[in-house]
Amino acid sequence: MAIELDQEFPGLRAEWRRCICSDNRCDAGVGERLDTLASRFSGRQAIELRQQQIPAAYRSFYRQIGIDPDLEPTHVEQAALSRLLAGGNRQSDRISDALLLALLETSVPVFAFEAAAVAPPVEIRQALAGELAGGADLPPGTLILADRERALCQLFEQPDVAMAVTGTGAEILLVAVAVPGVSAIASDEALTIAAEAISGS
C-alpha cells in the first residue's frame, strides 16, 4: 500500500520564507534575548520541556518515524541540554543565533539555506531510489526536505555545506519544519522571529 504522507501525518509540512542577511555579525539585541531565555532552563525545566505541547508533538513524531528521541533529542530538547552544559546560550553568528532564538521561543526548528541554491517550493517527501543529499545516498523512503528539483537534506538534519548560507549580503531561505500538532501560528511565528533577527528589523 503506497503511503501518502499527508494522510499518514496530517499537518506535517515545511513552511518557508526569504530574508536578507545584511550583516552576519552577532546582534546585541538577539544576544540579550538569548540570555533571558537561558534563565528559563534549570535541570527540571529542561526535563519537563518534553511534556509541553509542541515539544511533545515533535517527540511523538520522532517515535512514529523510527527515531528514538531519548537517543537523538528533538532540536528544542538538544538546545535546552546545550544550554545546561554550556551554562548559557552561547552566541556564534547572527544567523545561528536567530535560528536558536526562534527555536527557544516557539520550539519549532528553523533551517537556513542559501536561497540561490534552492528552488522553491520546499516540501517534505520520501526519498526516491538513487537520490543523494550531502553527497550521501539516501535510502529510498527516507523522509527528506526537497525543493522543486532535488533532495536538500534528510528531515531534521542540518543542510549540506553546498546549500548552507555563505555570509553577509546573501538572500536566505528559512524553512520551518512543522509536525502534526504544531499550529500554523507557531510555525509562522518561528519564521517571523528568525527573519526579523537576521534582517535586523
Partner 1 sequence: MAALLIDYAAAGDLLDEPTLELSERAARRSLLDQIGQLDRLLSAAVCEAFPDRLELPELMPRGPRVQSLGELELLRDGLVGSLCEARSALAAREQERALAHELLTEMLRDPAKHRRLRITQRELGVGGCGVWSVAPRLGPMGRLMGWWRVKLSSGCPLAT
> With contact defined as beta carbons under 8 Å apart, do 165 and 111 qualify?
no
The correct pick among 25, 28, 71, 136 for binding partner 1 (CB under 8 A) is: 71
Site residues (CB under 8 A) for partner 1, limited to 7-36: 7-8
Asked if residue 56 binds partner 1 (CB under 8 A), the reply is yes
Is residue 156 close enough to count as binding partner 1 by CB under 8 A? yes
Hey, is 92 helix, strand or coil? coil
- Identify whether the C-beta of residue 190 lies closer than 8 Å to the C-beta of residue 108: yes
Q: With beta carbons less than 8 A apart as the criterion, state whether 12 and 5 touch.
A: yes
Provide the 3-class DSSP secondary structure of residue 116.
helix
We find the least distance from the C-beta atom of residue 11 to partner 1, in angstroms, to be 12
Q: Which is nearer to partner 1, 61 or 97 (CB)?
A: 61
- Cα of first residue to Cα of last residue in the chain, in angstroms, is 48
CB 169 within 8 A of CB 161: no
Least CB distance to partner 1 at residue 145 (A): 11
Tell the smallest beta-carbon distance from residue 45 to partner 1 (Å). 10
3-state secondary structure (DSSP) of residue 34: helix
141 binds partner 1 (CB under 8 A): yes
| Sole binder of partner 1 in the list 126, 166, 192, 199 (CB under 8 A) | 126
Q: Does 155 bind partner 1 (CB under 8 A)?
A: yes
